[in-house]
Structure 1
Amino acid sequence: MTDTDTMTVFDRALVRRRRDRAAPRFAAHAFLFEEIAERLADRLEDVKRGFPTALDLGCHDGAIRRALAGRKGIERLVSCDLSPAFAALAGTPAVTADEEFLPFADGSFDLAVSNLSLHWVNDLPGALVQVRRALKPDGFFCAAMLGGETLAELRRCLYEAEMAVSGGVSPRVSPFAEVRDIGGLMQRAGFALPVVDRETITVTYADALGLMRDLRGMGETNAVLARRKVPMRRDLLFHAAALYAERHAEPDGRIAASFQVLYLAGWSPHESQQQPLKPGSAEARLADALKGGGTCGV
């Protein structure tokens, strides 16, 4: 990878400070992290093997450690977070480290799991390469990260409110990866048999201000380098909240917020794994297979 491959979008120092600030009261806002940790653990049950050594990358307060306790033959789980405050909460052993500069030797882990942290990484291809190197041959990686449709309702309302109030716009919600890009990044990082899928989780709030308070409590507020560096004006804030209530209220008056979750999975390469056929080595032609008629669709 070259320096030109990396786009610096996020202020990583600000991400760390906001996580440190959120850590003491994080449990009151951590419902999404707890839910996705359980879903990742359930997905791991489909993998018919154990993982004695595991890494929890971007551990926050240790939801993955709790979800995996007593499961998958894990004997040693290392928690790792950009935030020292979160690393201290996640259980031992734990280290403070940046996903973009992992301190682990090659072949250290049988399993690496990441729960809603990688969407803050600038050099995602480089981070994935480092995760793959930290895995033993035939080690497994699974992760969940927020995708491009996350908070689409809030994004639109803030955009329109700022246009109306200020006559211009600035980044108010962080950009997220698109599902179509992640599979290619997994292959580029050297993972074998990569799989990417997605789901959307809808959460309701009394109002948009409640959603914004929750995002702050999660440590998930805007950390884009190009963001406006002054606090949001009250008239803009209340105009955005009014637009949100007008356009996205449920029948009971609560507003809906969408979180798109991308799930990534792949293996560190090993000779025992299924290999793709070489071009031209197939024993039957696709045209012959289709001669029986019928249709197929996507």
Structure 2
Amino acid sequence: MQTTLKKGMKERAFDLFNTLFLLTICLTVILPFLYIIAGSLSSSKALINNEVLLWPVDFSMENYVAVMQNDIFWRAFGVTIFVVTVGTLINMIITVLMSYPLSKMWLRGRRLIMLILIFTMIFQAPLIPTYLVVKELSLLNTVWALIIPTALSVFNVILCMTFMRSLPEELFDAAKMDGMTELGILSRIVLPLSKPIMVTLLLFYAVGHWNNYFTALMYITNPSIRPLQLYLYSLIVQSDVNETMASISESAATVSPQGLQMATILVSTIPIVILYPLLQKHFIKGAMLGSVKE
């Protein structure tokens, strides 16, 4: 009885500690976000005087008006939309066309191909040789420099291949007996059954392209084709707000640089925040199924 009581007290103490620890982590993550929301909705005077904490002071939408009138922001936003759309489409096509054959154990040379893929995961190409290759391909200062070097993720190929291996082979045998080609099997059977992993990979690739700024930092120097994350980098890290302030109209020119930065961050985050809850169910299912090898 006493042993059971001690065990119960230890479990409750652990649960209490675990709860407090997780709450601390959650607050650490959410408090900066709340501060940015409050600052973006506060007046320039309140921000300059450091009066804003976690609630808007002198509620104002002037920061968002300035973002809406910022041509530089919308140009960078358009570049990012193009990279996310075209880049993700290319990623998905290459990943599927590589994963499906590799999911077949009878494929000749499969072990060698897998060895090469895994080798590239462990030993990644150095930065300078990669830059030289991109330069020799005349991709510098083009949007294709943001797409082609990241056209394939080996991790996602393995994830997709593992999921496809879990599909019943009897379906493929029956389709072949009906005269269906491998391409027909892939498009009519495999892809419809692989919806969870497809949505998962779609989210992985899209979020990766959306948040990628290091590739743009290496390959893009032309301001007219900067993606959104590189624009945010120059706006926040380098505090380069002069170009932005000059591009907005006089009616919004009274905003503070700090308020403009906060509003730009939130507007840039909204698409991903909206997209993720819609795909969360498929994302979790695909990640769980694709990570288990049968």
TM range (shorter): under 0.3
Higher helix content, 1 or 2: 2
Bigger relative contact order, structure 1 or 2 (CA pairs below 8 A, ≥6 apart): 2
Question: Considering only CA atoms, is the larger Rg found in Structure 1 or Structure 2?
Answer: 2
Give the TM-score normalised by structure 1: 0.21
